[in-house]
């Protein structure tokens, strides 16, 4: 609905903004600038409240209210919209009858445009497509370097544009978390996971209208990795910034002027884990830019980089955080065979060359992983090997992993139902496991059961929790206001800010997933509590992929009914 061209300053109070459909609609799940407060007539009528900041509309201003309804069947229902309070009184309505063509009738000096469309699919408790859209914005808020003309984050500007080493340009990439260090291990892991979900659930991104945004967002770290990898010198830059010095600075990246040293791995100081992870990102990126984003020359560039950095990782084996001790305190690696197995599997998918599949099997490590994380990619390699080979041994390992996260499987649960693997980024681990569950379901492994379990975790994060809040910032009407994030917490009008300021962050960090509650569901929205309120690139990666998976299963009518919340 587009209410526009108001003749004078007018107050629109939508206390009874109503949508009445001619047939059953399971949910008006995607609605922007309004909140559904009541459902009537068995799912035919929805009453929504307008957001208070849109109540006062000036002359010639636009007020757009977009909504999507989910239903069964292929017919487009009629819809009547009733707006209470236009120009201070009365109710007016506009009907559409099975037509995608906008209409513009005049109502009390106000014009209304209403379009109904049928997206089909299963009903959803939460708007997973909107949550996915917001997650993309979080990654754009993490951008380092000179920002593009289409920068989607108004409070961000150019920063760290002079990152370099001996004249070699290292600008770009993503800041890791609430700080301003660029760590390639978690950045590459995040990039690969995001690309994997994009490949598997292309329909979800299309449905959410986010395909182009995703192509734009994911190219940013890939461009940076291409700068970091120097094949002729057999060297790969893996970190920019000193963690200790960086963590002593609380301010916007735009105002940062400290020394930012760069660290690299080489043939004599190897880093097979970080190089292998980057090879996976490059190979997955090749598939995405060739088949989805439509940039074949760039895709070919990524494939060549994937091949060369994989050979570097394979031929010069070692743990990167032993070669670069400056990374060990923050992202110390425990091994590299999982990253090599995963990289080889991705290169097989990209090239169909048998040697890569042989390598993937050779580097594969037996055993059920503890988690999918920035350090541990075993389950990702196992699932990709199953996708390639359809070997039941890999299938069984995937099933065992997901079942280990389900109730009774060994992972502890909070009273309200979050799989609590670890206090550091509790939401992250649950979301990563949910991502594996929906990816496995897409491969035909325990589809209904695994998707149902994934729903319990993602729904917990989005509101089925003790406080009925969304742990994704900007989703819904209640979410954390004090994330541990320097750029978000510092006003753009000053060069100084205080981490201890009790007020909400002045810049909304849309889409960021905060660390989450403790093992009793307790959560404190306090900036100084970086355990519960930290945000990071790897926190959002599996979460975004899981969201895409749920949208996919909704589109295909395969999304199970939402499990009941354990917290009412």
Query: Is 387 one of the catalytic residues?
Result: no
Cα dihedral angle (285, 291, 293, 294), rounded to 10 degrees? 120
* Cα three-residue angle 20-25-28, rounded to 5 degrees: 80
Are the C-beta atoms of 542 and 428 separated by less than 8 Å?
Answer: yes
* Cα three-residue angle 469-190-224, rounded to 5 degrees: 130
Residue found under tokens 């636009």: 62
Both tokens assigned to 348: 């097989």
**Torsion sign, CA atoms 423, 427, 432, 438:** positive
Cα dihedral angle (344, 348, 353, 359), rounded to 10 degrees? 30
Determine which one of 273, 464, 534, 538 is catalytic.
534
Determine which one of 525, 529, 538, 558 is catalytic.
525
Query: Is 496 one of the catalytic residues?
Result: no
Side-chain half-sphere CA neighbours of 230 within 13 A: 16
Both tokens assigned to 191: 């990039």
Residue 119 CB partners (closer than 8 Å, separation 6+)? 68, 69, 70, 207, 555
Are the C-beta atoms of 516 and 427 separated by less than 8 Å?
Answer: yes
Q: CA-CA distance, 216 to 214, in Å (whole number)? A: 5
Are the C-beta atoms of 14 and 50 separated by less than 8 Å?
Answer: yes
Both tokens assigned to 325: 């001790």
Count the Cβ atoms, other than its own, within 10 Å of residue 423: 14
Count the Cβ atoms, other than its own, within 10 Å of residue 280: 32
Q: What are phi and psi of 496, to 5 degrees?
A: -130, 145
Residue 461 CB partners (closer than 8 Å, separation 6+)? 418, 427, 430, 431, 470, 471, 472, 513, 516, 543
Both tokens assigned to 517: 């509650």
- List, by residue number, the catalytic residues: 525, 534
């Amino acid at each position: 609905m587009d209410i526009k061209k108001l003749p004078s300053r007018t107050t629109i109070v939508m206390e009874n903004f109503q949508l009445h459909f001619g047939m059953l609609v399971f949910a008006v799940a995607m609605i922007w600038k309004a909140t559904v407060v009541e459902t009537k007539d068995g799912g035919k009528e929805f009453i929504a409240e307008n957001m208070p900041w849109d109540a006062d509309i000036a002359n010639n201003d636009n007020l757009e209210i977009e909504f999507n309804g989910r239903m069964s069947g292929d017919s487009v229902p009629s819809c009547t919209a009733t707006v209470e309070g236009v120009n201070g009184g009365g109710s007016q309505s506009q009907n559409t009858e099975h037509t995608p063509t906008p209409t513009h009738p005049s109502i009390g000096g106000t014009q209304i445009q209403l379009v109904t469309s049928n997206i089909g699919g299963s009903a959803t408790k939460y708007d997973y497509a909107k949550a996915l859209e917001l997650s993309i914005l979080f990654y754009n808020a993490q951008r380092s370097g000179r920002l593009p003309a289409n920068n989607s984050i108004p409070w961000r500007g150019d920063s760290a544009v002079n990152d370099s080493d001996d004249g070699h340009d290292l600008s770009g990439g993503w800041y890791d978390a609430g700080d301003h260090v660029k760590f390639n291990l978690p950045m590459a892991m995040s990039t690969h996971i995001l690309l994997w979900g994009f490949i598997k659930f292309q329909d979800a991104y299309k449905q959410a209208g986010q395909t182009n945004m995703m192509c734009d967002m994911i190219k940013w770290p890939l461009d940076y990795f291409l700068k970091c990898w120097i094949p002729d010198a057999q060297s790969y830059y893996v970190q920019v910034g000193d963690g200790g010095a960086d963590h002593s600075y609380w301010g916007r990246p735009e105002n940062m002027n400290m020394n930012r040293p760069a660290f690299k791995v080489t043939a004599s100081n190897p880093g097979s884990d970080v190089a292998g992870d980057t090879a996976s990102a490059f190979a997955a990126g090749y598939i995405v830019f060739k088949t989805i984003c439509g940039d074949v020359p760039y895709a070919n560039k990524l494939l060549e980089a994937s091949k060369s950095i994989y050979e570097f990782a394979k031929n010069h084996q070692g743990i990167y955080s032993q070669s670069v001790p400056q990374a060990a305190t923050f992202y110390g690696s425990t091994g590299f065979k999982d990253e090599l197995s995963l990289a080889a599997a991705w290169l097989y998918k990209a090239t169909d060359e048998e040697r890569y599949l042989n390598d993937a099997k050779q580097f594969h490590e037996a055993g059920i992983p503890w988690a999918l994380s920035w350090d541990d990619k075993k389950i990702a390699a196992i699932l990709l090997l199953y996708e390639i080979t359809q070997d039941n041994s890999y299938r069984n390992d995937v099933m065992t992993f997901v079942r280990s996260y389900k109730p009774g499987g060994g992972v502890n649960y909070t009273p309200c139902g979050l799989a609590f693997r670890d206090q550091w980024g509790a939401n992250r681990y649950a979301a990563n496991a949910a991502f594996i569950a929906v990816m496995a379901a897409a491969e035909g492994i325990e589809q209904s059961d695994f998707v149902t379990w994934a729903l319990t975790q993602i729904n917990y994060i989005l509101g089925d929790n003790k406080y009925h809040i969304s742990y994704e910032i900007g989703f819904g009407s209640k979410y954390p206001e004090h994330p541990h994030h320097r750029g978000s917490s510092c006003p753009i009008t000053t060069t100084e800010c205080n981490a201890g300021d009790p007020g909400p962050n002045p810049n909304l960090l849309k889409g960021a997933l905060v660390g989450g509650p403790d093992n009793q569901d307790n959560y404190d929205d306090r900036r100084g509590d970086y355990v519960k309120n930290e945000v990071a690139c790897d926190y959002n990666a599996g979460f975004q992929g899981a969201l895409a998976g749920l949208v996919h299963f909704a589109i295909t009518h395969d999304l199970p009914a939402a499990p009941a919340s354990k917290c009412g």
